[in-house]
Amino acid sequence: MSWMPRRRCRRPFSGHPAHDCPLLPCCSSDRPFCRAPSMAGDSLFSRQRASNIVVLNVGGRLFTTTLTTLTTFPDSMLAGMCRGDMPAGHSFRGGIFIDRDPTHFSTILTFLRDGHVPLPEATLERQQLRAEAAFYSLTELVAAIDDAEAARAEEAAAERARQAEAAQAAHYVASHRAELLRAASEAVGRAEAVLRQLRASQEAGRGALRRVEERARRLQGALVAPGQPNEAAQELQQLEGEAARLRTVLEETAVQLRSAERRLDNMRLARICAAGHDVQAAQVLLAALHPA
C-alpha cells in the first residue's frame, strides 16, 4: 500500500497526518492535503469483528449485515472473505466494495439469514439470482434454484401432455362423432332399462312388505282372543322374519338405484358430449333436460 506525503489535513478536526484521516472518501481531488489511499478490506474486517457488524458496498449500494450471517455457509465466497481466505476488496464510501449488480444481493442476504428464500416468478430474475448465487459460491441456493427449475419444467411438460391428450380426444370425437353418439345412445337405453327394472323391484318389495306387516298386525290381535295362540304366535314370528328380510332387500335395492341413476346421468352426459358440446355445456343441458 502506497501512502501520500505526510501533509496535514485541512479538515476542521485537523492535526493528524493525511494518511490517518478517518473520512471515507476523503477530500476532493483539488485539495491534495488529505487524499487517503484505498484501505484494504482485510483491515476493515479486522476493525468490524469486534462489533460483528459489516457494511458491504455492492455495486454502489450499501448493505449492513453481520459476520455471523456472512459465514452461515462456510464454503461460500463471503465466508472465505470474512476468514481472510481470499481478498476482501477495498473500502469505498463506507463499506467493503464488491463489484457486482446489487439487484439480488438482498435476496442473497435473506438466504444467508434464513436458509431459504422465495424465488422470483420471472424466469429471467431466477437466472440472474442463480448467477449471483454461483458467483458467491452458494451451492445450496444454486441447488434450490435448479430444483425449482426442474419442478417447473416437469409441471410444464405434464401440462403440455394434458393439452395434447385433450386435443387428441377432441380430434377422435370429431372424427368418430356418429359412432360415439350411437354408442352413447345405446348405453343410455341400457341404463334406463336397468333403472326401470330396479324401480319395479323396489315397488314390488314395498308391496310385499306392506302385506306382511298387515298380516302381522292381524295376528297380534288374534293372540288376545281365545283360540289357538300357539299357532298364531308361530306364524307371527315367521312374518316378522320375512319383514326383516324384505327391509334388507329394499335397502340394497335403494343403493343399486342410486348407483344406476348416477350411471344414467353419466351416459346422458356422454351422449350430449358426443353430439358436440363441451363438458360444462353438457352438464347445464343435462340439468335442464333431466332435472333432479
The pLDDT of 236-248, averaged and rounded, is: 91
Q: How far is CA 207 from CA 113, 217, 242, 243, 250, in A?
A: 77, 16, 13, 11, 11
Torsion sign over Cα 152, 158, 161, 163: negative
Neighbours of 91 (CB within 10 A): 21
pTM value > 0.95:
no
Residues above pLDDT 90, as percent of the chain: 45
Which of the four pLDDT bands, split at 50, 70 and 90, describes residue 183?
confident
Q: How do residues 126-145 score in pLDDT, each as one tens digit?
A: 999 999 999 999 999 999 99
Which of the four pLDDT bands, split at 50, 70 and 90, describes residue 37?
very low
Pick 3 or 84 by higher pLDDT: 84
Q: How do residues 100-127 score in pLDDT, each as one tens digit?
A: 999 999 999 999 999 999 999 999 999 9
Give every CB contact of residue 116 below 8 A, 6+ residues apart in sequence.
Answer: 144
What was the pLDDT predicted at 228? Answer: 55
Pick 62 or 235 by higher pLDDT: 62
Among 102-111, 175-184, 221-230, the least confident range = 221-230
Using the predicted structure, report yes or no on whether residue 90 has a pLDDT greater than 80: no
Q: Render 212-245 in DSSP notation, one character per residue.
A: HHHHHHHHHHHTTSSS-HHHHHHHHHHHHHHHHH
What was the pLDDT predicted at 19? Answer: 41
The residue whose grid cell reads 348416477 is 262
Q: Render 148-173 in DSSP notation, one character per residue.
A: HHHHHHHHHHHHHHHHHHHHHHHHHH
Using the predicted structure, report yes or no on whether residue 40 has a pLDDT greater than 80: no
